């Protein structure tokens, strides 16, 4: 029915917009079918200890391997999945797959997953996550749930209940994209996290005077609150060195590795591929 309504209104738009809407409608129906066919899969990006240089885990980042369009980024299809109410099913399908993949990794490596703000509001989120971990054979202590600040703005009471149940069960919770939200400090005061992930826009400006001071302050703040800090978007050795000197616990970024398909992530673990730690590789 929605499609017919949409079709009727197309004629009143400019040609460019008309194309976007048709494209969008096609993507929507493709996404539904693609999820059913298993085309949306987790890729894995390495996360390292900046102090030891060791791999500590992977973040699962969704990729849609579209048969015609190739690999589609989550910025394109996650909002669609949210709009058409597919996000919850998609997330759990991705988590089931990630549990299977993580079973092949050394037991100390963590699996980080992203959760949509829409999911935090659901009262059954924690129990469903724990059931999925149990069925997938992944210890709750190995999961890190990444929540963005926008998820907390929507409904902090619901988020608090979910975070409490998950942390009681041993799941770790990270505040993602820290610094980009409206009330970052408020969230740190109101909720206990296991990690703070500094948004990559701050890492990109680390070498500026203000940028450096801000990152240092966030790292110290995390320390004081017992929330180790992960830097996102580490692209250069200089950034990694600066972060390490500032006492930042973990790093993630193209310097250490791009998001990889499961088999390549596993190969990187097994062979300690240089991509994982360029400094070790070069001695
Ligand atoms: P995020 O959770 O903040 O993930 C980090 C993003 O930064 C990823 O983009 C990653 O590929 C990118 N990135 C990592 N290192 C670097 C770097 O050194 N330089 C640059 N320029 N970028 C880097 P990606 O994979 O496109 O994901 C974008 C966002 O989509 C994620 O941001 C997350 O919010 C969302 N997302 C991804 N997968 C899922 C999912 O399964 N479920 C939900 N709900 N959201 C997801
Ligand atoms: Mg994330
Ligand atoms: Mg992030
Ligand atoms: Mg981000």
Q: What is residue 19's predicted lDDT score, i.e. its pLDDT?
A: 61
Give the tens place of pLDDT for each residue, 250-272: 999 999 999 999 999 999 897 65
Using the mean position of ligand 2's atoms as its centre, give its distance from the Cα of residue 78 in Å. Answer: 13
Tell me whether residue 178 is exposed, middle or buried, using C-beta atoms within 10 angstroms of its C-beta: 0 to 12, 13 to 18, 19 or more: buried
- How far CA 150 is from CA of 73, 131, 153, 202, in Å, comes to 20, 26, 5, 18
Positive or negative: CA dihedral 255, 62, 39, 265:
positive
- How far CA 214 is from CA of 148, 191, 202, in Å, comes to 19, 21, 8
Q: Which residues of the chain have pLDDT under 70?
A: 1-19, 271-283
Q: What is residue 243's predicted lDDT score, i.e. its pLDDT?
A: 98
Q: What is residue 15's predicted lDDT score, i.e. its pLDDT?
A: 54
Q: Whose CA is nearest to atom 35 of ligand 1?
A: 74
Quote helix, strand, coil % in the chain, to nearest 5.
55, 20, 30
**Cβ(203)–Cβ(253) below 8 Å:** yes
What lines the ligand 1 site, CB under 6 Å? 45, 61-62, 73-75, 78, 91, 94, 114-116, 146, 176-177, 200, 232-235, 252-254, 259
Pairwise CA distance, residues 43 & 264, whole Å: 9
Pairwise CA distance, residues 249 & 261, whole Å: 25
- pTM of the entire structure? 0.90
ipTM of predicted assembly, 2 dp: 0.98
């Amino acid at each position: 029915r929605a499609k017919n309504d949409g079709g009727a209104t197309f004629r009143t738009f400019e040609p460019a917009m008309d194309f976007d809407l048709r494209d969008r409608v096609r993507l929507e129906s493709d996404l539904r079918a693609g999820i059913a066919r298993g085309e949306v899969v987790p890729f894995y990006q390495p996360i390292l200890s900046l102090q030891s240089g060791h791999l500590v885990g992977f973040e699962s980042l969704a990729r849609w391997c579209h048969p015609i369009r190739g690999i589609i980024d989550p910025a394109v299809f996650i909002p669609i999945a949210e709009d058409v109410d597919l996000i919850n099913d998609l997330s759990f399908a991705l988590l089931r797959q990630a549990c299977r993949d993580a079973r092949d990794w050394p037991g100390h490596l963590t699996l980080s997953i992203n959760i949509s703000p829409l999911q935090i509001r659901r009262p059954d989120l924690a129990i469903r996550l724990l059931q999925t971990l149990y069925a997938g054979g992944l210890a709750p202590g190995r999961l890190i749930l990444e929540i963005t600040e926008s998820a907390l703005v929507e409904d902090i009471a619901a988020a608090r209940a979910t975070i409490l149940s998950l942390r009681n069960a041993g799941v770790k919770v990270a505040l993602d994209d820290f610094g980009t939200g409206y009330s970052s400090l408020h969230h740190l005061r109101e909720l206990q996290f296991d990690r703070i992930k500094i948004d990559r826009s701050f890492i990109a400006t680390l070498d500026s005077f203000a940028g450096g001071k801000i990152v240092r302050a966030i790292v110290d703040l995390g320390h004081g609150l017992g929330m180790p800090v992960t830097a996102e978007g580490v692209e250069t050795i200089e950034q990694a060195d600066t972060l390490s000197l500032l006492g930042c616990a973990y790093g993630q970024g193209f310097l250490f590795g791009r998001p990889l398909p499961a088999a390549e992530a596993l190969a990187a673990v097994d062979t300690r591929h240089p991509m994982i730690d360029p400094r070790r590789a070069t001695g």
